[in-house]
Structure 1
Amino acid sequence: MNFELILVVATFASGLIWLVDRLVFRPKRMARLESEAQQLGHEAGIERKEGGDSEPLLVDYAKSFFPILLAVLIIRSFLFEPFRIPSGSMMPTLLVGDFILVNKFTYGLRLPVVDTEIVPMSEPERGDVAVFRYPEQPEVDYIKRIIGLPGDTVRIEDHRVWVNDREFPLEEQGRYEGDANLKHAGLTVALEDIDGRLHQVLLDNGGHLRSGEWTVPDDEYFVMGDNRNHSNDSRFWGTVPESNLVGKAVMIWLHWNWQDGGFDAGRIGRSIDVVESD
């Protein structure tokens, strides 16, 4: 279900109903009420009838909901959109059950539904955590970390990442203790440095990390999950076109994972760009 399309249609329909009534039907109702009031001999009747049942129920609903729908559409399409993390591919940065805010204008303002860029803004940077439409299934949103920019050469060997023959420093920090239900407890936590931006990754020393070398095409991006051995990303299905980018993930505003009954108030308000110890 395309919620954005439904929201656009609902906003347009409610606004159109209200506008047509305001310009066409309301003046006719007012003229009729005035005529009836004059016939009855008291002008006060106009106010009583206008405040009563003279306005159709559909118009009343449209007038009430249009400002709300318009505000939601503007905020969701051009400012911020909420997402829920459904998988562990971005652990330990993001956990299953995290609800995040995605900045929609960081990479440029786009028209809703058609996704046409109308106002260019900043370019994506290495280290950004980005939400994008999965190239092989555009109706599905993915979230990964941007590793390679257009024109970059990305090389991966073991747990190490090189971009343009420059290695990203990686320092192991110890055993990961959390999320035992998802079988990630016991993996290795490491601190990775991407152009001076620090973030944690999970390494599975007993698992398989796909190695190889990729050249990023123009206007596309190479992305990877922070849970390096348990992420379906550019190593397997290729790069992300710039037109598929939805926005930059900036903050966790809620954590609730009903699978393990977990409400974690300590994660509320966390910046995704900042490394925080638990």
Structure 2
Amino acid sequence: MSALTVALFGALAIYLGGWYAGYWIGNFSLLLFVMTVVTLAYWLAERFRFAPARAAAAQTLTSQDAQRRADLARMGIDKVDGDVEAARQQLLTQPWWLDWTAGLFPVILIVFLLRSFLFEPFKIPSGSMIPTLLVGDLILVNKFHYGIRLPVINTKLIANNDPKHGDVIVFRYPVDPRIDYIKRVVALPGDEVAYLNQRLSINGKPVELKALGDFYDEDSMRYAPRFREGLGTIEHDLLVQPNLPSLFRPLESFQRFRDQCRYSAEGVTCKVPAGHYFVMGDNRDNSQDSRFWGFVPDENIVGRAFFVWMNFGNLGRIGSFQ
């Protein structure tokens, strides 16, 4: 079993190393599920086989020592050298390969359950959600707000709230589901959404937009016009460069429901199909979103983002957001 354990740790190191080096895209949910199953198997083996076997061996050692002392006492020998307690404790000690597998099972199980059904951490990798979220923000995602889903396969078991206008959601990128994206929900199933001449309209009604002055982006060291937009009951800030063209070209990967969108020199207009959502980044001119690759299926939704729990470069970022 120790050789098998070494092989498993070696496979884990190769997987994590290749992931870190960029040779492949890792799936942390799947990895955590596999680690939970493997450590559970070790934990069960320890509880029902290895631990009882060690206890039985220690009991046999104690019984043999007691019998030897009794035999010597009958021969008149009262003083007997040797103490089996150290040997008994050594027999009861859990070997390293069980300590690092079965011993870790409760911790891994708790992390797996918390991450799968309650909250999942997520790091903002790009500036597509500036000014709401900055590069380096570490956020929490509510996994149960939109319903309880099975981990790994993401199948919904229990429905809860539906996404609404203005929600910030994390979802599996429809073009490559191995990658998680974060955007803001702009339009719901059945809505007709238009982004023409850098102005957003939903069902023919322009979304309210209020100028707030310039925003300074410390990463790019540039100023950008900042506006406040109202989506449903949620108000949020966004960035728009008024002098940039509004022409969008869909990606070749945008195939499903491509006929629901019309592209022109002014922008794009789409009818959101059932069970799908139209999402956009708050950094409107620096976001690859539904305007380019299409709609987000409901089954791709991971959860609702709601809290910045850490930004190591700016502790003032910690807190809830809209």
TM-score (norm 2): 0.77
Shift of 1:136: 0.6
Measure, in 1, the Cα distance between the counterparts of 2:126 and 2:28.
21
Shift of 1:235: 0.7
- Give yes or no for the alignment of 1:33 onto 2:58: yes
Q: Which 4+ stretches in 1 moved above 3 angstroms?
A: 44-48, 50-54
Please state whether the residue corresponding to 1:161 is helix, strand or coil.
Answer: strand
Between structure 1 and structure 2, the one with the greater Rg is: 2
Question: In the alignment, what sits opposite 1:83?
Answer: 122
Shift of 1:178: 3.1
Please state whether the residue corresponding to 2:216 is helix, strand or coil.
Answer: coil
- Give yes or no for the alignment of 1:116 onto 2:155: yes
Q: 8 Å contact 1:208–1:229 — kept in the other structure?
A: no
TM-score (norm 1): 0.89
Cα displacement string for residues 51-70 of structure 1 (whole angstroms, at most 9, x for unaligned residues): 65543322222232111111
Indicate how the Cα distance of structure 1 residues 107 and 46 shifts in structure 2: closer, same or farther if over 3 A, else same: farther
Question: In the alignment, what sits opposite 1:249?
Answer: 305
Alignment match of 2:183 (pick from 144, 162, 170): 144
- Give yes or no for the alignment of 1:272 onto 2:311: no
- Give yes or no for the alignment of 1:130 onto 2:130: no
Please state whether the residue corresponding to 2:44 is helix, strand or coil.
Answer: helix
Please state whether the residue corresponding to 1:4 is helix, strand or coil.
Answer: helix
- The amino acid across from 1:68 in the alignment is V
Measure, in 1, the Cα distance between the counterparts of 2:217 and 2:29.
35
Question: In the alignment, what sits opposite 2:39?
Answer: 14
Question: In the alignment, what sits opposite 1:220?
Answer: 276
Please state whether the residue corresponding to 2:321 is helix, strand or coil.
Answer: coil
Q: 8 Å contact 2:187–2:193 — kept in the other structure?
A: yes
Superposed, 1:29-68 pairs within 5 Å as 29-41=54-66, 49-50=88-89, 54-68=93-107
Question: In the alignment, what sits opposite 2:286?
Answer: 230
Measure, in 2, the Cα distance between the counterparts of 1:84 and 1:238.
23
Aligned pair count reads 264
Shift of 1:45: 5.5
Coordinate RMSD, CA, aligned:
2.0
Please state whether the residue corresponding to 1:89 is helix, strand or coil.
Answer: coil
Structure 2 unaligned segments of length 5 or more: list them: 1-25, 68-82, 248-266
Shift of 1:47: 9.4
Measure, in 1, the Cα distance between the counterparts of 2:45 and 2:314.
48
Measure, in 2, the Cα distance between the counterparts of 1:54 and 1:248.
46
Cα displacement string for residues 25-73 of structure 1 (whole angstroms, at most 9, x for unaligned residues): 322322222122111008x957972565543322222232111111111
Q: 8 Å contact 1:130–1:144 — kept in the other structure?
A: yes
Please state whether the residue corresponding to 1:186 is helix, strand or coil.
Answer: strand
Measure, in 1, the Cα distance between the counterparts of 2:180 and 2:159.
22
